[in-house]
Structure 1
């Protein structure tokens, strides 16, 4: 099989635990690009954040799959695919979440609106959701999101929440799934609770991108580490799980590479793509 596309998750995959990218990983991405392989990022992050990371690994011209698959674009003005949570569902979701102790972030592709959290929880929310990320795009913090939505309606691709208690998180999940049928709740390395439209997944969006580029899923190498990556790892021509991925995700993969702190991406590229290039040259 000749692989034509490489799709990389960001958090827990492309990034080390310290949120840095290895020099070897950047070199590996450049190597496969030079050989004609299309490289993209597929992430639960918002588009602006993913675009900044793409620029750092010289993927400025790539179409990115962001917001857990809800927003696919090369530039924010011209998405090739987008799905949104309806305004009515957004209001209902926020009313439910506000009954719990959690930090909520409405993630639009151009802005974000979040509720303020108390000082005791600030650091935890900052580490998980990037509460201090105005460099990516405008972030507006308000006391009460439900009051904000009475004045300004939003229909975002995604809503993120960070819970400070596992029991509350699971109770909120059960209530949302029972009362709002048009959503899916996902978990990832970056966000412990993400809400996206029901029809959306990373796997479906990667197939949409492949159809747009004329590349079948059988010709894709996909690398991820989180629960929301499982379906796309399983469907890919070569599904690769990071060494730091949960056991159930590693069981779905064709291959398990090293962890994100052990240059797992660059190791995989060397093992797979350099062998592929040598086979092509022999032919």
Structure 2
């Protein structure tokens, strides 16, 4: 199979648990690009935070961010889908009945609850880094009170719970109360809420359709529960070696873990025998 697009998730795939990008991963991305492969990032993070990672990897393609709610490159936005203002207020009002940290983000700004950060190192890294690159951050005591005076139409609502046992019930309740949303459980204590029909998979489909690539020509490398639909859909779905058994079961290739440079290993293996796209176009193998 001739592959044309490589899509990678950021957290626990491109980035190590400490938030670093290894030398081997950087070299692997450059190797894929040298073959003429389109490379993109697919993430729940904001565009500003994803762009920082992409710039470090010299990726200039459009990025799929906010779980597919925002797709674009610099000021060139090809797709954006936001939650409606009134519905956002109602969702936040409901969520504040629980002991949680809230964060609302659009393409440039974020509003979040004052207080302690998520407990895990990964949670702190994601929460801090995603907010760090927004042009405007507001820390408020009560997000609901803030929205009562300052209506907002975010791309995504993040909710990190104190008690894991509440998460499944809250997810079910939200899905029953609001038909116009998609609720993603991206971690045991974390829910991410976006507009209906917004997802990493739908974002990837939108981008691949725009580029004219078939699903069989797409390689996806991921590690999270919210990556499963992409791994199942892509021509080559690759799970990281440290991913959960559920994620691994959805993939048709399991690469090595972070410690074993899993991204580098699979990129080199997949594209090693593939001739550069420019050469294949020149000899009319592809148009």
1:195-274 map, 5 Å:
195-274=193-272
CA contact (8 A) 1:128 1:162 kept: no
What displacement does 1:132 show? 6.7
In the other structure, the counterpart of 1:71 is 70
**Per-residue CA distance 1:152-186 (angstroms, 9 max, x = gap):** 21111111111111112223222211111111111
In the other structure, the counterpart of 2:21 is 21
1:1-283 map, 5 Å:
1-59=1-59, 61-75=60-74, 77-117=75-115, 121-122=116-117, 124=119, 127=124, 129-131=126-128, 134-137=131-134, 138-188=136-186, 192-277=190-275
What displacement does 1:188 show? 2.7
What displacement does 1:133 show? 5.5
Q: Cα gap change, 1:123/1:146 in structure 2, threshold over 3 Å: closer, same or farther?
A: closer
- Unpaired runs of 5+ residues, structure 1, are none
**Per-residue CA distance 1:73-121 (angstroms, 9 max, x = gap):** 102x33101111111110111001111111000011101000112xxx4
Moved more, 190-199 or 29-38: 190-199
The separation in 2 between residues aligned to 1:157 and 1:50, in whole angstroms, is 15
The separation in 2 between residues aligned to 1:123 and 1:163, in whole angstroms, is 8
TM-score (norm 1): 0.92
The separation in 2 between residues aligned to 1:30 and 1:176, in whole angstroms, is 42
The separation in 2 between residues aligned to 1:217 and 1:187, in whole angstroms, is 25
TM-score (norm 2): 0.91
CA contact (8 A) 1:12 1:189 kept: no
CA contact (8 A) 1:129 1:162 kept: no
The separation in 2 between residues aligned to 1:17 and 1:267, in whole angstroms, is 18
CA contact (8 A) 1:44 1:67 kept: yes
How many residues are paired up? 278
CA contact (8 A) 1:70 1:82 kept: yes
Secondary structure, counterpart of 2:242 in structure 1: coil
After the TM superposition, which segments of 4 or more aligned residues of structure 1 sit over 3 Å from their partners?
A: 131-135
Secondary structure, counterpart of 1:188 in structure 2: strand
The separation in 2 between residues aligned to 1:53 and 1:270, in whole angstroms, is 21
The separation in 2 between residues aligned to 1:218 and 1:23, in whole angstroms, is 29
- Unpaired runs of 5+ residues, structure 2, are none
CA contact (8 A) 1:72 1:79 kept: yes
Q: Cα gap change, 1:160/1:8 in structure 2, threshold over 3 Å: closer, same or farther?
A: same
CA contact (8 A) 1:103 1:162 kept: yes
The separation in 2 between residues aligned to 1:170 and 1:2, in whole angstroms, is 41
